[in-house]
């Protein structure tokens, strides 16, 4: 552990730390543009210059200099000040003075650091370099004249995304950042370069000229577009959420989010259900809340009630609905809309036990029936890290582009019973072998066989649990914890022929099987579910209610409310509470706090933030067989997996342009 002195403060830094990290540990701010904690070191912006002794008598780029024992580092000397001023001046030679019309204004590294470290005026008289705009797809807007060539975007696409899409062409002052032949960036995490860009060269296209950062109310929330539970920030103004940004959480999403999580935001204001609807004579007609509840009271279902939960629903809503069903005398709850019926008696068997952060330590990964890139882009970034450290990756299922060296073992699940010798050797020899079972594998009933594999290869050992199930719905783990699982899946609900089916924003259910039930749809979008509903009660989207979400690794997280639901829409739990009155039962809470307390009392894990403990894995069922073929994965279109995304113009365009190859004419500017 080297001991260094930073501005007279003596500190010990971890071996292998850079001078920049040493300075940060000492509490000194080092300005930087190209250096980024999660990317490789480039050392090309020169903004992080400091004075280091012993060493040459000139400023050193601290980001690329290893901290050594007995180094004396100065960040406050006249030399450093002058060096920073000089670098700032060079960077600004070609940077346009268009801050007033730049979307990065107010949250721009270059702007902030110019104020903090630059000179007060410019000495250059020459014309500035101009660079033509580059097309980077429907999500990323480019103003390349502003680019300062930090190459963060290039490094992101190569290292984190794993798809070499962005590159730096030409050289020196003429360097241009571009995608190959200005094709759209297609990776499902590509828009993270917007956050990485320290200037306004890469900005958000859908958010262009929408708002200034200081006008926005920031609300901490949880992403519901997949089951990873990425930590996000909702930036809202008035009653509208304008954009979604990632928050840093090393345990979950580091600081990335998928393009869907970021850009489905415009779907929150489109196709919304903002008043109750009743089906009269086969046609949906707008109604008042009173009329809607009167209609519900008329159903008078008695015990014949079932609840099916959608993919985006928070635990509070599910708990309230469960309480309502219980009060009516029913326990028909289900959240696996598409008919999955895997065994949920032990939640450890359907949990991502390695953890999102843990999986990057795996050294052999077997993926069974999961298109991880689309089902959980954040898990794919972790798997890339693991693969870079030498982990071998095997996939059972149809082939997809994994961005890591992969061995495909075919589509037939039988291979699990008799693995090829080299695969067996790799899993046996691995110190931390892992298995990831995805939706397609669960659908084919491979859970038992995978548990058998888990025992065979000892995936669970001291300090390591390598058995993982990767879900796709934000509500899945919470739902399972609340008992939203029947033995036979949704087929049990069909069999029970409930008089009233309460649908909590469930849009993927085949409602034709419930033709004789009165369907009460509590949701926020006029999507598939609403089309089949007999009574529609407008509810709040994830941005419009506080809620508890449990991600696929069993991490309980809380989201806040950013804005109010539109029109007559209400928070889901209040609707369920009012329904209880209409149906003449009591569900035991009158406020959100009471609801949360009741939920925490019923399922203590939901009352604590952090990983829920599901105990040990169950024994593999006897004679578990793996059969069937995984020829396709459940997600057919990454950009249109939930009602919010389907309503979003941005996501629709991404789908048609990036996945279906349509081209869009660019408006002339």
Q: How far is the CB of 379 from another protein (least distance, A)?
A: 23
By beta-carbon proximity to another protein, the closer residue of 179 and 353 is 179
User: Concatenated DSSP letters for 381-422?
Assistant: HHHHHHHHTT-EEEEESS----SS-EEE--SBGGGGTS--HH
Shortest CA distance to 548 belongs to which of 560, 558, 538? 558
Q: Considering the complex, what minimum distance in angstroms separates the CB of residue 169 from another protein?
A: 4
Query: How near is the Cβ of 655 to another protein at its closest, in Å?
Result: 24
Count of CB atoms situated within 10 Å of the CB of 14: 11
Contact 161/208 with Cβ under 8 angstroms? no
Of 173 and 281, the one with the shorter C-beta distance to another protein is: 173
Please, what is the minimum distance in Å from the beta carbon of residue 96 to another protein? 17
Q: Quick one: which of 371, 377, 421, 376 has its CA closest to 396?
A: 371
* 3-class SS of residue 307: strand
The DSSP call for residue 466 is -
Q: How far is the CB of 186 from another protein (least distance, A)?
A: 13
* Residue closer to another protein (CB basis): 181 or 667: 181
Closer by beta carbon to another protein, 105 or else 167: 167
DSSP letter string, 11-59: EE--TT-BHHHHHHHTT-----SS--TTS-----S-TTEEEEESS-SS-
> Are 118 and 85 a contacting pair, CB within 8 Å?
yes
Q: How far is the CB of 172 from another protein (least distance, A)?
A: 7
Rule CB under 8 A: which residues touch another protein?
129, 164-174, 179-181
What CA–CA distance (Å, rounded) separates 49 from 20?
Answer: 9
Minimum CB separation of residue 200 from another protein in Å reads 22
Give the nearer residue to another protein in terms of CB position, either 175 or 249: 175
Residue 618, helix vs strand vs coil: coil
Taking the least distance from each CB to another protein, the nearer of 129 and 247 is 129
* CB-nearer residue toward another protein: 181 or 665: 181
Q: Which residue has the tokens 């840093």?
A: 248
Q: Give yes or no for a cis peptide into 593 (omega within 30° of 0).
A: no
The sheet carrying 555-559 orders its strands as: 547-550, 555-559, 610-611
Closer by beta carbon to another protein, 164 or else 492:
164
Of residues 117 and 135, the one with the C-beta less far from another protein:
135
Contact 565, 571 (CB under 8 A): yes
- Contact (CB, 8 A) for 555 and 539: no
Buried b (16+ CB within 10 A) or exposed e, 148-169: bbbbbbbbbbbbbbbbebbeee
Three-class DSSP category at 595: helix
Q: Which is nearer to another protein, 171 or 283 (CB)?
A: 171
Dist. CA 569–CA 565, nearest whole Å: 6
The one-character DSSP state at 127 is P
Smallest gap, in angstroms, from Cβ of residue 346 to another protein?
Answer: 44
Show the tokens assigned to 445.
């009933």
What residues does 236 pair with on adjacent strands?
Answer: 217, 241
Query: What is the Cα Rg of the chain in Å?
Result: 27
Q: How far is the CB of 166 from another protein (least distance, A)?
A: 7
Compute the least distance from the CB of residue 179 to another protein, in Å: 7
Angular region, 653: left φ>0, alpha ψ -120 to 50, beta rest: alpha
Nearer to another protein, 170 or 209 (CB): 170
Of 352, 410, 404, whose CA–CA distance to 383 is shortest? 404
Shortest approach of another protein to residue 171 CB, angstroms? 5
Taking the complex as a whole, the smallest distance from the CB of residue 177 to another protein amounts, in Å, to 10
Shortest Å distance, C-beta 168 to another protein: 6
Q: Residue 163 or 291: which CB sits closer to another protein? A: 163
What's the min distance (Å) between Cβ of 283 and another protein? 53
CB of 38 to another protein, least distance (A): 21
Helix or strand holding residue 259 (H, E): helix 259-263
Backbone angles phi, psi at 372, to 5 degrees: -55, -35
Residue 174 vs 665, nearer CB to another protein:
174
CA dihedral 25, 30, 33, 39 (to 10 degrees): -10
Nearer residue to another protein within complex by CB, 129 or 270: 129
Give the H/E segment covering residue 491: helix 490-496
- On whether the CB atoms of residues 307 and 333 are closer than 8 A, the answer is yes
Q: Which is nearer to another protein, 137 or 335 (CB)?
A: 137
């Amino acid at each position: 552990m080297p001991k260094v002195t930073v501005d007279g403060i003596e500190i010990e830094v971890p071996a292998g730390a850079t001078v920049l990290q040493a300075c940060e540990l000492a509490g000194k701010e080092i300005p930087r543009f190209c250096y980024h904690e999660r990317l490789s070191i480039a050392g090309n912006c020169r903004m992080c210059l400091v004075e280091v002794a012993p060493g040459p008598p000139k400023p050193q780029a601290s980001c690329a200099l290893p901290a050594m024992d007995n180094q004396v580092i100065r960040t406050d000397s006249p030399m450093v000040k002058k060096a920073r001023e000089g670098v700032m001046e060079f960077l600004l030679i070609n940077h346009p003075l268009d801050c007033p019309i730049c979307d990065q204004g107010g949250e721009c590294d270059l702007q902030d650091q110019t104020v903090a470290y630059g000179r007060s005026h410019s000495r250059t008289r020459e014309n500035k370099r101009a660079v033509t705009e580059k097309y980077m797809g429907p999500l990323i807007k480019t103003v390349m004249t502003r680019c300062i060539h930090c190459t963060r975007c290039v490094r992101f696409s190569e290292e984190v995304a794993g798809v070499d899409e962005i590159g730096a062409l030409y050289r020196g002052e003429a360097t241009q950042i571009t995608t190959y032949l200005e094709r759209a960036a297609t990776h499902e995490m590509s828009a993270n370069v917007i956050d990485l860009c320290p200037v306004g060269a890469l900005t958000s296209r859908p958010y262009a000229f929408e708002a200034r950062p200081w006008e926005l109310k920031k609300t901490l929330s949880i992403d519901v577009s997949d089951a990873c539970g990425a930590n996000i920030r909702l930036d809202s103004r008035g009653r509208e959420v304008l954009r979604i940004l990632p928050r840093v959480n090393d345990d979950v999403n580091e600081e990335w989010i998928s393009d869907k999580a970021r850009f489905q935001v415009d779907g929150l204001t489109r196709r919304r259900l903002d008043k109750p609807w009743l089906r009269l004579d086969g046609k949906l007609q707008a109604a008042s809340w009173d009329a809607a509840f009167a209609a519900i009271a008329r159903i008078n279902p008695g015990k014949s009630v079932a609840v099916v939960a959608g993919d985006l629903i928070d635990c509070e809503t599910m708990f309230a609905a469960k309480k309502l069903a219980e009060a009516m005398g029913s326990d028909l709850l289900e959240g696996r809309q598409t008919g999955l019926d895997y065994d949920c008696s032990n939640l450890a068997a359907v949990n991502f036990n390695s953890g999102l952060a843990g999986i990057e330590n795996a050294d052999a990964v077997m993926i069974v029936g999961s298109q991880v890139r689309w089902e959980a882009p954040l898990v794919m970034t972790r798997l890339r890290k693991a693969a870079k450290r030498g982990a071998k990756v095997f996939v059972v299922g149809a082939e997809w582009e994994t961005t890591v060296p992969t061995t495909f073992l075919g589509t037939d699940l039988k291979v699990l019973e008799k693995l090829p010798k080299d695969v067996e050797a790799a899993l046996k020899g691995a110190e931390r072998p892992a298995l990831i079972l995805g939706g397609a594998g669960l659908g084919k009933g491979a859970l038992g066989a995978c548990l058998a594999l888990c025992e065979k290869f000892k995936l669970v050992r001291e300090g390591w649990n390598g058995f993982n199930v990767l879900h796709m719905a934000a509500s899945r783990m919470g739902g399972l914890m609340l008992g939203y699982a029947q033995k036979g899946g949704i087929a049990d609900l069909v069999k029970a022929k409930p008089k009233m089916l309460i649908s909590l924003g469930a849009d993927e259910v085949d409602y034709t099987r419930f033709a004789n039930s009165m369907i009460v749809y509590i949701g926020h979008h006029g999507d598939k579910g609403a089309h089949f509903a007999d009574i529609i009660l407008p509810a709040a989207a994830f941005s419009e209610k506080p809620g508890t979400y449990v991600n696929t690794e069993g991490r309980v997280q809380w989201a806040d409310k950013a804005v109010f639901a539109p029109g007559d829409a209400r928070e889901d739990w209040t609707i369920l509470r009012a329904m209880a009155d209409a149906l003449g039962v009591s569900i035991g809470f009158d406020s959100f706090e009471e609801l949360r307390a009741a939920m925490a009392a019923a399922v203590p894990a939901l009352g604590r933030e952090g990983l829920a403990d599901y105990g040990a894995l169950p024994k593999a069922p006897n004679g578990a067989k793996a059969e069937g073929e995984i020829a396709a994965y459940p997600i057919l279109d990454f950009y249109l997996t939930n009602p919010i995304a389907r309503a979003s113009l941005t996501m629709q365009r991404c789908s048609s342009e990036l996945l279906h190859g349509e081209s869009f004419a660019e408006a002339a500017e």
